[in-house]
Amino acid sequence: MIDSLAYLQAELARSFAGPVAMPASWSDPQGMARARQRVHHDHGSAGIAADPRSIMAAITDFRRSGRIDSFRDLKYVCLGIGALDGKGWSLLADETLRGIIARTVEQQSSEHRRLRCFQALLSAYFSFPVHGKDASPESATGWRGLRGWLRAERERLTKLSGFKPPWFDALTRHVKMLTAQPCEKFGADLLRGDASGLNDALDSLSIPQTSWVLEEAVLAQMTAASALRDGPFKSTLPDLLPIAMGHGGVSIGEGLKVRCVALLVSRYALCSDRPEQPALRDAATSTIGNPWLRRANWDAWVRSGNEPDDVAREMVFGWLKGRLITDFFELLTVDGTTDRRRLAYWLRFAPFVDDMWFALGTSAWRRPGAQFVEFRERAKGRLLNLEGATADNNAFVMRIGAYLAVEFGASGNAFYLFRWDALSPSLSKALTSGRAREGVRINELKADVNEDTMRHRDSLGALKSWEQKFDDRLTRLIGKKPEKRPACVPDLEALVSDVAVDVADLRNAGGALWVRETDRGSHLSRKLQAMGMMFRSGRGWFKE
């Protein structure tokens, strides 16, 4: 003990041996700032620290007795009003108990105690997982009731003359947090990259990082973007989509992802010009679902006013059909090269395709790589096993009106057309069962009992491509004609590609195919004559 006292005496003497330090050097500004923050947190902030066991004990007693016997218990019950049990129940779910809490708080004779209870309920309001999947519908309804009570109680407390802590003044600045659009005022600022207003609310009201407020701020940003004109909205869309999908630094629940993406899809559908947006298409189908397989889910979430947004649904459906058609002819042909002519031909018919299926050989089911994985994910619900075929063959099956059209991935296979109402029972069952990995035999897709069979071969003598022959047959049967005309015979296109000559195909308008070569003795004219075209002086060669 003597040695310790001697050591302390020596150290004190040494400390005071030098000149007296100026007051400015006494302070630790950072330390003092931390101390102020701690005092503010413990005595002036909106947050309240409490033992969870004490909170749960007070809730259990209150639920059993329906009474609150002390102010301490009242404070704990207010803090735990939104605490969920294993079934998603909370005090918020019981209207009677909720009413007892509200009346007990309002009857407190001390303004300080009333403020403390309000503070505890405000903390529970911000902490309640309203967007989570664990809260029961009754608890969520009670949470909205708490919001209304907090709004009314704040107004009553404002009229009292006593001291108001800093967090109460902050709530006055951010009183919109107690409305159905709590973060609306932050939306436009967040869209410009200014988060100062939101951060002020988070800090001054001690809102936890896990609060629903951050999710609502994301939704407010999406809503603000939707109010932009077409040009600015389109330019900000690539930045908004990662945020809407939860990749922007804020973790958001699945329900909010659906709300955000649905909002962006509906707004994009209002644009006067809306070319396909692959990222928006994939975000929509991965969150809301396939628009033709999950029609009810789409109509529930993607709305135009109070009605389902048919334009948005058909827009994404059209994009998805086009993507799947492209996937088939780019990925699932036998030689691995894109069948560009068939791809271009069937993309013209995409608006008329009511449904589609993909019967895959064993190779396509096993193929690794991102493109094949993404295709199988996009086509989920419409994938079949192609049985009785080679491992590398695949079939693309389309329902177009009253007909079923079938194309194959392996070259040399004919095109088959069936009447939908004349399909074999087993084929009809495979297409409509809704079960994953149904099997369909290739001989059923090539059955002799068909409406038509056509080959992908050009008729050079008649100057008709197979596309034009297909059109002659299909457009008559389905009663609809694609806007774009099919390609001319490739040999003719190749013949005139390196020659400065005009070609005009007026056959769709009731005219003729014209090649404006007026020199009857030229090399080109001899080729055109050999292809069966006729000459008209001053105008060139034509074929009706």
Q: Worst-scoring range by mean pLDDT, 7-11, 173-177, 377-381, 494-498?
A: 7-11
Could you tell me if residue 94 is inside a domain?
A: yes
What is the predicted pLDDT for the residue at 46?
Answer: 56
Q: Is 349 helix (H, G, I), strand (E, B) or coil?
A: coil
The verdict on 68 and 161 lying in the same domain is yes
Asked whether residue 439 falls in the same domain as residue 418, the answer is yes
Q: Which pLDDT score is estimated for 228? A: 96
- Is 392 part of any domain? yes
The verdict on residue 196 lying in a domain is no
DSSP letters for 74-120? HHHHHHTTT---TTS--GGG-HHHHHHHHHHHHT-S-HHHHHHHHHH
Q: What percent of the chain has pLDDT over 70?
A: 88
The per-residue pLDDT for range 190-199, each reduced to its tens digit, is 999 999 999 9
Per-residue pLDDT at 122 exceeds 80? yes
Residue 16 pLDDT level (bands cut at 50, 70, 90): very low
Whether 102 has a pLDDT exceeding 90, the answer reads yes
Question: What is the structure's pLDDT at 328?
Answer: 93
Q: Look at residue 141 and tell me if it is in a domain.
A: yes
Percent of the chain at pLDDT above 90? 62
* Domain end among 315, 342, 364: 315
pLDDT tens digits, residue range 301-315? 999 989 999 999 999
Same domain, residue pair 435 and 466: yes
Longest dimension (CA), the chain: 130
State yes or no: pLDDT of 113 exceeds 80.
yes
Mean pLDDT score, 12-23? 40
Q: Measuring CA to CA, how many Å separate 343 from each of 219, 327, 330?
A: 39, 9, 8
Mean pLDDT of the 436-441 span: 90
Which residue, 451, 478, 505, sits at the end of a domain? 478
- My answer on whether 358 and 438 are in the same domain is yes
Mean pLDDT of 234-263: 90
- Cβ atoms of 475 and 481 within 8 Å: the answer is yes
pLDDT digits (tens, 9 = 90+) for 341-368: 899 899 999 999 999 999 999 999 999 9
Distance of CA 423 to the CA centre of its chain: 37
Residue 521: per-residue pLDDT = 82
Task: Verify that 337 and 450 share a domain, yes or no.
Answer: yes
Of the candidate ranges 10-24, 221-235, 422-436, the one whose mean pLDDT is the lowest: 10-24
Lookup: tokens for 412:
């040399």
d(CA 62, CA 480): 70
- Among 52-66, 112-126, 454-468, 469-483, where is mean pLDDT lowest? 454-468
Residues 338 and 286 in one domain: no
Q: Is residue 186 part of a domain?
A: no
| pLDDT confidence band for 239 (50 / 70 / 90) | very high
Q: What is the pLDDT of residues 384-396, one digit of tens each?
A: 999 999 999 999 9
Note whether residue 45 is domain-resident: no
Q: Among the listed ranges 103-117, 246-260, 291-305, 343-357, which one has the minimum average pLDDT value?
A: 246-260
Could you report the per-residue pLDDT of 476-533, keeping only the tens digit for each? 988 888 987 777 777 777 777 677 788 887 766 667 888 888 888 888 888 888 777 8
The confidence band for 6, taking pLDDT boundaries of 50, 70 and 90, is low
Q: Average pLDDT of 17-45?
A: 40
- Verify that 468 and 525 share a domain, yes or no: no
334 pLDDT higher than 80: no
Q: Are strands 534-536 and 438-441 parallel, antiparallel or unpaired?
A: unpaired
Q: Which residue range forms the structural domain that includes residue 377?
A: 332-478
- Is residue 280 in a domain? yes
Specify the pairing of strand 513-515 against strand 503-505: antiparallel
Task: Return the pLDDT at 402.
Answer: 95
Give the count of beta carbons closer than 10 Å to the beta carbon of residue 500. Answer: 5
- What is the average pLDDT across 18-40? 39
pLDDT, position 26: 27
What is the C-alpha to C-alpha distance for residues 34 and 447, in angstroms, rounded to an integer?
Answer: 81
**Same structural domain, 165 and 77:** yes
Decide if 285 contacts 291 (C-beta within 8 A).
Answer: yes
Q: What is the mean pLDDT of residues 248-268?
A: 90
How far is it, in rounded angstroms, from Cα 135 to Cα 129?
A: 7
Q: Which long-range contacts (CB under 8 A, 24 or more apart) does 169-174 make?
A: 170/46, 170/200, 170/201, 170/204, 170/205, 171/46, 171/122, 171/205, 173/200, 173/201, 173/204, 174/200, 174/201, 174/204, 174/205
Q: Are residues 81 and 159 in the same domain?
A: yes
Say if residue 336 is in the same domain as residue 472: yes
> Region 216-232: what's the mean pLDDT?
95
Q: Tokens at residue 199, please?
A: 């951060």
Does 2 fall in a domain?
A: no
Higher pLDDT, 86 or 141: 141
Residue 513: how many other CB atoms lie within 10 Å: 20
Q: Please state the domain count of the chain.
A: 4
pLDDT (0 to 100) of residue 231 = 95
pLDDT of residue 52: 86
| pLDDT top residue among 517 and 228 | 228
Structural domain ending residue among the three candidates 150, 173, 196:
173
Residues 62 and 155 in one domain: yes
| One domain for residues 371 and 474 | yes
